[in-house]
Amino acid sequence: GQQVMQIPQYQHVQEGEDFTTYCNSSTTLSNIQWYKQRPGGHPVFLIQLVKSGEVKKQKRLTFQFGEAKKNSSLHITATQTTDVGTYFCARGGSDYKLSFGAGTTVTVRA
């Protein structure tokens, strides 16, 4: 399927700092979803973005969908140890399918 590229692959963050992870596509996205997978766990849905320029917040997490609908970002403020895990973006395609990016793995230094 058509790919979404996530950068960076790894993010090492000092507790209390902010960071951003990005999801990019060469083609227009109809929608983008974000999932979080804790170490040893399974992916859990965080949010879906559909509209151009859309911004959604969940506590310390801010999700954005680009104006051209070719990229998305996840920004976390004041990182905590509970933020550890891998964050995946996924694009919706035909036939109910999602295509997942390779993920950004976040570690936190206390």
* Residue range at the interface with other proteins (CB under 8 A); choices 20-28, 36-44, 60-68, 76-84: 36-44
> HSE on the CB side for 74, CA within 13 Å?
30
Told to check if 26 binds other proteins by CB under 8 A, we report no
At 22, list the tokens.
């990005």
Told to check if 33 binds other proteins by CB under 8 A, we report yes
Among 13, 20, 24, 48, binds other proteins (CB under 8 A): 48
Told to check if 92 binds other proteins by CB under 8 A, we report yes
Told to check if 65 binds other proteins by CB under 8 A, we report no
Rounded Cα distance, 62 and 45, in Å: 15
Report the greatest alpha carbon distance in the chain: 43
At 75, list the tokens.
């920004």
Number of helical (H) and strand (E) elements in the chain, helices listed first: 0, 11
Among 63, 83, 88, 108, binds other proteins (CB under 8 A): 88
Write out the residues near other proteins by the rule CB under 8 A.
1, 6, 9, 30-31, 33, 41-45, 48, 88, 90, 92, 94-103
